[in-house]
Structure formats: C-alpha cells, structure tokens
C-alpha cells in the first residue's frame, strides 16, 4: 500500500508497506526496525509480534518518545498486560496496531512535528 508520493519535509517517512517490507524513502526494509522522526534503527531483535518483551521495548523507550507506535505486522497482536503497564509507568503514550496502520499514523504525527517513535515488524513476518 502506497502511503505517500512525495517526501513530506526533512523527516523520516514511510513511503509504502507491503508483504515485501517497509519502504522508507527509497530504501526497502525487510527486518524489524525502529523509526524516529530523524532516523531508522535497524537493530531491533524481534522475530514476531508475540515476541515483544520488556527487554526489547526498553531500547525503544530509552529514546524517550511522547508517543510509541508498535506495528505488529499484518495482524494486530496485543501486548501482555504487564508489558503495557511497564510502558504506562514510563508515562509514554502508546498504541499497538497493524504495521500499515502504524506507518500511516507515524507519517501523520511526524508531519505534526510530534516526538513519535514507531517500532515496526514487516507484514511478511509471522505474528
């Protein structure tokens, strides 16, 4: 699904999401990654949505986002309640959704110059 046809400013943006992966600007990413308004972090060791743990979320939360978007691939996979509580304790707003929805939301929030971080699993990965 194409999300944008033009580069919307100087920020990181998602151009499209498909079974092939996540296209950010002109680059295609096929492994889990973390997006900030200014960077793409490709070192996020999560094989699937059910594998999201407090340890792997710590690296994301250390970026101190105002809003954390978690894209769990093609299907929405909810976080365990204790994981959600650990995010709440850090006073970070968050949403868990499909990766294509997380990418659309990321683009909107970045265009509003919000401090957003997206932790994304490509749609082709298993939940």
Tens digit of pLDDT for each residue in 10-26?
Answer: 788 999 999 999 999 88
> What are the structural domains of the chain?
14-120 (3.40.1230.10)
Q: Rounded to two decimals, what is the model's pTM?
A: 0.90
Q: What is the mean pLDDT of residues 82-103?
A: 94
Separation of alpha carbons 74 and 16, rounded Å: 14
Contact between residue 29 and residue 119 where contact means Cβ atoms under 8 Å apart: no
């Amino acid at each position: 699904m194409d999300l944008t046809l033009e580069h919307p400013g100087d920020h990181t943006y998602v151009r499209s999401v498909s079974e092939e992966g996540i296209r950010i600007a002109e680059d295609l990413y096929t492994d889990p990654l973390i997006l900030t308004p200014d960077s793409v972090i490709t070192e996020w060791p999560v094989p699937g949505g059910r594998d999201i743990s407090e340890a792997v979320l710590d690296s994301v939360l250390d970026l101190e986002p105002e809003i954390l978007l978690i894209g769990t691939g093609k299907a929405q996979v909810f976080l365990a309640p204790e994981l959600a509580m650990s995010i709440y304790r850090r006073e970070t707003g968050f949403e868990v959704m499909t990766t294509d929805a997380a990418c659309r939301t990321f683009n909107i929030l970045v265009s509003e110059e919000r401090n957003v971080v997206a932790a994304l699993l490509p749609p082709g990965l298993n939940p």
